[in-house]
Amino acid sequence: MSKVTQIAKKLNIREEQVKAVLNLLEEEATIPFIARYRKEKTGGLDEEQLREIESTNMYLTILAERKETILKSIDEQGKLTGELKEKIIATDKLTELEDLYLPYKPKRKTRATVAKSKGLEPLANFIVNNPNFNGDFDEILTKYMDEEKGVLTKEDALQGAKDIIAESISENAEVRKEVREYLLNSSKVVSVKAKEAKAGRKSKKKDVYEIYHQFEIEIIKIKPYQTLALNRGEREGFLKVSLTYDKEFIISKISKLFFKYKTSYFKETLESVVLDSFSRLIYPSIEREVRNELTEIADRHAVEIFSSNLRQLLLQPPISGKIIMGIDPGFVSGSKIAIIDETGKYLEGQTIYPHPPQRRISEAKKTILDFIQKYNVELIAIGNGTASRETELMVSGLIKENNLNCYYLIVNEAGASVYSASPIAKQEFPGLEASQRGNISIARRVLDPLAELVKIDPKSIGVGLYQHDVDQKLLNKKLDDVVISCVNYVGVDLNTASSSLLTYVSGLNKRIANSIVKYREKNGRFNSREELKEVSGIGEKSFEQAAGFLKIPNGKNPLDNTFIHPESYEAAEKLLELCNLSTTAVNEKGSLVKQFVKNTGLKRISEKIGVGELTLSDIIENLEKPGRDPREEMPKPILRSDVLKIEDLEEGMKLKGTVRNVVDFGAFVDIGVKQDGLLHISEMANKYVKHPLEIVSVGDIIDVNIKSIDINKGRIALSMKNF
């Protein structure tokens, strides 16, 4: 079966689609570009499907290369039979491939290799191949005694033979597959508290794994977050994790698989060999594989949740056209204030000390009020870290006392300190100290979340769970894919985008992004997409990949402010001509185009102007809504002017909240008090919910009611039921 056929079968798509995608990837087309501008070739496959094709192709390529290496190795040993070759070629899993190779893999010194060097392999074969033996076995054993080879007794000879058989059993691909599948489907995962001495030696951390001190669960029912918690507890020395299973059943299963006869003269010997093979060779190896597979499943799941949360956070709608004050709250070191204008330009900043130990509240309020009045601040963004709620109380009081036409909102400040010390921040604000840059980032996260958050390592943004425990290579790749996807989904203003943002645009890299910014600084704003070709480093290929995602509002050609690719401008102009419109009418007459196409027929027009129907549909959509920011359709953040305290809450009270983070067991929701409330998965709907992401996403504005409150522990339980 060809690679294309395998991919098509696995993903349930046509082979022509797979071929087209693989050819485009071979030509170095990016996933966002293929998804948006090569729909005719791929049959409209989305980014997720394209990435599946890419990753499956990579896996199958690695598999094919490994098969080639293994076949060559076995052939050089003179042991490659036709049957074995067929099995190797037919397998579609790396694990099973390695099982087939195991008997032929060059080995270090083992008990079996030592026994073979003593000439005991024929004895081992005799025991296996003669179940109906009915003679004097002692006489046979005596023949293998050889003082020079170290076989001093009949027991030595028998033990050597048993070691050889045990290794043969452990290297049998069918046996390994059966044991692996049994443990993956029928075992239980068990954890107990590790001995105090061991825990004490390995970690000084507090034991937070009490629920896992006496824990047992069927392996098929274990949740990904439980796997990751067990792994961490074991790594930190607090837990001992193992598998339990029916040993008698599995030993019997191995015997039946390896020995094709029902009984044998050597029954007792073979039973002891199977037990030894399983306990010493098979189980330790397969247990590691099973634990690794559980971890891989948990890693992929955690990374998917993280990436989903990150995508929602990056696609939060911008609040544009306002002067914004950012406050990075703090106690001892004070709270940092920054004012930015409607474009994100830093205007002024200061440090205030309203909280303990200084408590200069009056002075702090005056400073904030002066800034609000001086710059006509309409919105205050408060970081959600240390002293956040104390700052919120002060700001809400100030708004009320002075009857200000001003609102505030709480902003996730995760990663602000990482940004403030980064080379990007130093380049943007060379005259400011690191402590004064984080508050600018907080303010800009409201103005344009995507443009600001791309400057920070995604892992530092604070919407994941166990992000330091999972496969870092997998995590980094997935999160990078999410950032790239979001940037190209939204598009970028070529004249205002930072080099950090431009770096993620299809076809661009850090070097080209810096060249674009330098060109802009030297020559002024871009007036057309064609000007991009004058930038150092942009060739035909990079222009093709990037141009459609780079927008120019108020440029020479209105089409430059749409997602219509320059290669489709001629088709777009022909369409406008058919409607008796010019390109200057793009901003006003898009609905007329849509109506015209509806009356005439999509297929008929696509044939007339020479583009496919999918491309034509995209052209029509962009003519109808030029310059559209898809984030505008997302729910806007909740703006507040007053604050709630946990003491103000009552059971049954209905509130609006913002989802801050989504995890396997529920979501954390900001309802305007100091502590985020927990919306447990069981309280999300009046029906069974498989996963919280079915109901909520990061940034969603939702209606909740207070289920319970624990003021002493600062815990709030929420519910969405009965809405």
Per-residue pLDDT reduced to its tens digit, 280-318: 999 999 999 999 999 999 999 999 999 999 999 999 999
Alpha-helix runs per DSSP H in 448-537: 449-453, 472-490, 499-503, 510-523
701 vs 4: CA distance, rounded Å: 44
166 vs 162: CA distance, rounded Å: 6
- pLDDT tier for residue 143 given thresholds of 50, 70 and 90: very high
Contact 541, 64 (CB under 8 A): no
Burial of 114 (C-beta count, 10 Å sphere; 0-12/13-18/19+): middle
- pLDDT tier for residue 463 given thresholds of 50, 70 and 90: confident
Per-residue pLDDT reduced to its tens digit, 91-106: 999 999 999 999 999 8
168 vs 112: CA distance, rounded Å: 9
Which residue in this structure is represented by tokens 């240390």? 386
φ, ψ dihedrals at 184, nearest 5°: -70, -25
Domain 646-719: CATH architecture, name and number where available: Beta Barrel (2.40)
One-letter amino acid at 318 equals: P
Task: Over range 155-159, report the average pLDDT.
Answer: 96
Residue 723: predicted pLDDT: 66
Q: Which fold has domain 111-301?
A: Tex N-terminal region-like (1.10.3500)
Domain 510-633: CATH architecture, name and number where available: Orthogonal Bundle (1.10)
- Classified as helix, coil or strand, 657 is strand
Among 264-278, 630-644, 709-723, top mean pLDDT goes to 264-278
Residue 722: predicted pLDDT: 78
- pLDDT tier for residue 716 given thresholds of 50, 70 and 90: very high
Superfamily of domain 324-447: YqgF/RNase H-like domain (3.30.420.140)
Q: Taking the C-alpha atoms of 250, 253, 254 and 258 in order, what is their torsion angle to the nearest 10 degrees?
A: 180
Per-residue pLDDT reduced to its tens digit, 549-572: 999 999 999 999 999 999 999 999
Residue 581: predicted pLDDT: 81
Domain 3-104: CATH architecture, name and number where available: Orthogonal Bundle (1.10)
Residue 197: predicted pLDDT: 42
Estimate to the nearest angstrom the gap between the alpha carbon of 64 and the chain centroid. 27
Residue 368: predicted pLDDT: 98
Q: Tell me the helix, strand and coil percentages in the chain, rounded to 5.
A: 55, 10, 30
Which of 354-358, 395-399, 476-480, 630-634 has the least mean pLDDT? 630-634
Domain ranges of the chain: 3-104, 111-301, 324-447, 510-633, 646-719
- Nearest CA among 405, 356, 396 for reference residue 645: 396
Per-residue pLDDT reduced to its tens digit, 358-390: 999 999 999 999 999 999 999 999 998 899 989
Residue 136: predicted pLDDT: 94
* 55 pLDDT higher than 90: yes
- Classified as helix, coil or strand, 698 is coil
Share of the chain above pLDDT 90, in %: 85
253 vs 258: CA distance, rounded Å: 9
Residue by residue, what is the 3-state secondary structure of 385-414?
Answer: CCCHHHHHHHHHHHHHHCCCCCEEEEECCC
φ, ψ dihedrals at 589, nearest 5°: -115, 20
616 vs 39: CA distance, rounded Å: 11
Share of the chain above pLDDT 70, in %: 97
Which of 221-230, 270-279, 592-601, 613-622 has the least mean pLDDT? 592-601
Burial of 388 (C-beta count, 10 Å sphere; 0-12/13-18/19+): buried
* 586 pLDDT higher than 70: no
Contact 11, 53 (CB under 8 A): yes
